Amino acid sequence: MKRMKLFIVLAVVIGVLGFSLELPAEVIKVTAAVNPPEFAGKCPKRFEFFGEITVNKPGVVKYKWIRSDGAMAPVQTLKFRKPGMKRVTSYWQIGAPGEHWKAIQILGPNSMKSNRAVFKLKCMLTAVIKPQVVKPGVMVKPGIITRNCPDPAAVEIRFQIVRRYSQFKGRIRITGVVKNIGGKAFQSGPNQAKAYLYQLPPGVPPATATGGTVVSEREIRNLAAGAVLNLSWERDWNSSSPSEGEFPNSYRLLISYDPDIYMDGNENNDDCNQNNNKKERSGTEINDMLR
């Protein structure tokens, strides 16, 4: 009888251990594709993206789409009731000419990235000739071309010493400047357009840096032609330290739009040139100020 009880206990323990040692689901493959891969014509243009995520067991997968311009995307959840593949989709309505990409980043249960779905966009940007009002006897240059459309642009990142503690230490204000350089006011609804100021990872050149921390953000609702919107943030800085001195943070100013902004029927919030929506500046220039 005792042997029988011992056998039952051992069987239960082995069963529990076997269950606990079973490996969780894992993403074993993820791919991304874009249609069309190349376009030349009127902008903005909508590009469609298709992804495939494959797991080896039932489970829950968390993922997000990432883009070449660094814009943030929400985390999404995909449930698998059995091993296999599921398809996901996304799109990008863009008016910035050049080469761009989107990819899928797997966040759980394991970490993985898909290939970059690269596409090329060539825009036929339009402009209008602004009428010239000329006083008698005043000479002007003919053919001055001005964009008669809203064009919020990331124009500048400023560094300013607001307080100096010593030769190498001080408090720094970092300010991102957004300006409507178009000839028409930008007018948008809530949560459709935002400007973000990022602190990028230390020691990485700003042109190649990914990720980072949002240190300031502002919604862009009404921005008259020529008007400016500032985003500011302050921090202490020590140019003689191993961190800031050797591997300083850099900063990025980014304008980001809701994906559906070009389909809301409001031409006053259609940025006619998305190619100027990002500005970067290296923190090494702050070290030069604190010398």
Q: Which domains does the chain have, with CATH numbers?
A: 24-123 (2.70.50.60), 145-289 (2.60.40.10)
φ and ψ of 88, to 5 deg: -130, 155
pTM: 0.57
Strands (E), the chain: 27-35, 38-41, 45-55, 59-67, 76-80, 84-94, 98-108, 112-113, 117-123, 128-129, 145-146, 152-164, 169-180, 186-187, 193-199, 213-219, 222-223, 228-238, 251-257, 278-281
φ and ψ of 8, to 5 deg: -65, -45
Maximum Cα–Cα distance for the chain, whole Å? 119
Provide the H-helix boundaries in the chain: 2-20, 284-289
Check residue 72 and give its pLDDT. Answer: 65
| Band of residue 12 on the pLDDT scale cut at 50, 70, 90 | low
| Band of residue 45 on the pLDDT scale cut at 50, 70, 90 | confident
Mean residue pLDDT across the chain: 83
pLDDT (tens digit per residue) in 230-276: 999 999 999 888 788 888 999 999 998 887 788 888 989 989 888 89
**120 within 8 A of 99, measured Cβ to Cβ:** yes
> What span, in angstroms and rounded, lies between the C-alpha atoms of 145 and 147?
7
Structure tokens at 260: 């559906």
| Band of residue 124 on the pLDDT scale cut at 50, 70, 90 | low
Of residues 36, 53, 32, 54, the one with CA closest to residue 45: 36
Partners of 219 in beta bridges: 194
Check residue 11 and give its pLDDT. Answer: 56
What letter would DSSP give residue 245?
I
Structure tokens at 226: 């020529």
Question: For residue 221, with 0-12 CB atoms within 10 Å meaning exposed, 13-18 middle and 19 or more buried, which class applies?
Answer: middle
Check residue 6 and give its pLDDT. Answer: 54
| CA 80 vs CA 86, 113, 133: distances in Å | 8, 19, 67
Structure tokens at 151: 């064009």
Structure tokens at 231: 């985003």
Of residues 54, 45, 38, 47, the one with CA closest to residue 88: 54
> What span, in angstroms and rounded, lies between the C-alpha atoms of 123 and 39?
8
Check residue 106 and give its pLDDT. Answer: 95
Rg from Cα positions in the chain:
26
Is 202's pLDDT higher than 80? yes
**What is the mean predicted confidence (pLDDT) over 27-43?**
91
What letter would DSSP give residue 258?
-
- DSSP code per residue over 218-235: EE--EE-TT-EEEEEEEE
